[in-house]
Amino acid sequence: MTTTQEPTTVLPGAPAAPRRHPRALWTLTALTAVAPVTWGTTYVVTTEWLPPDRPLLAATVRALPAGLLLVAAGRVLPRGAWWWKAAVLGTLNIGAFFALLFVAAYRLPGGVAAVLGAVQPLVVAALALPLLGQPLRVRTFVLGATGVAGVGLVVLTDSARLDPLGVLAGLVATACMGTGVVLTKRWGRPVPVLAFTGWQLAAGGLLLLPLALAVEGLPATVTPGQVGGFLYLAVVNTALAYVLWLRGIGLLPADRVSFLGLLSPVVAGAAGWVLLGQSLGPVQLAGVVLALGSVVVAQRGR
pLDDT at residue 11 in the model: 36
Tell me: the pLDDT tens digits for 230-268? 999 999 999 999 999 999 998 888 878 888 988 887 887
Is the pLDDT at 112 greater than 80? The verdict is no
Q: What mean pLDDT comes out for the span 52-74?
A: 92
Beta partners for residue 188, in sequence order? 9
- pLDDT band for position 12 (50/70/90)? very low
Q: pTM of this prediction?
A: 0.82
pLDDT at residue 17 in the model: 47
Closest CA to 105 of 38, 37, 167, 178: 167
61, 117, 253, 255, 275 from 298: Cα distances, Å: 34, 17, 10, 8, 30
pLDDT at residue 2 in the model: 37
Sign of CA dihedral 6, 299, 170, 281: negative
Sign of CA dihedral 216, 180, 146, 129: positive
Q: Is 135 helix (H, G, I), strand (E, B) or coil?
A: coil
> Mean pLDDT in the chain?
83
All residues at 6 or more sequence positions from 182 whose CB lies less than 8 Å from its CB, including other chains: 124, 127, 128, 131, 132, 254
Q: Is 275 helix (H, G, I), strand (E, B) or coil?
A: helix
- Please state which of the ranges 35-39, 122-126, 134-138, 273-277 shows the lowest mean pLDDT: 273-277
State what percent of residues in the chain have pLDDT above 90.
41
Closest CA to 58 of 103, 108, 110, 107: 103
Query: Using CB atoms within 10 A of its CB, is residue 62 exposed (0-12), middle (13-18) or buried (19+)?
Result: buried
Contact in structure between 257 and 178 (CB atoms under 8 Å): no
pLDDT at residue 52 in the model: 85
Write the DSSP assignment of 71-119 as a string of letters: HHHHT----TTHHHHHHHHHIIIIIHHHHHHHHHHHHS-HHHHHHHHTT
Tell me: the pLDDT tens digits for 118-161? 788 888 888 988 888 888 788 888 888 888 787 777 666 655 56
Tell me: the pLDDT tens digits for 175-228? 999 999 999 999 999 999 999 999 999 999 999 999 999 999 988 889 999 999
Q: How many CB atoms lie within 10 A of CB 160?
A: 14
Instruction: Give the whole-angstrom CA distance, residue 291 versus residue 143.
Output: 9
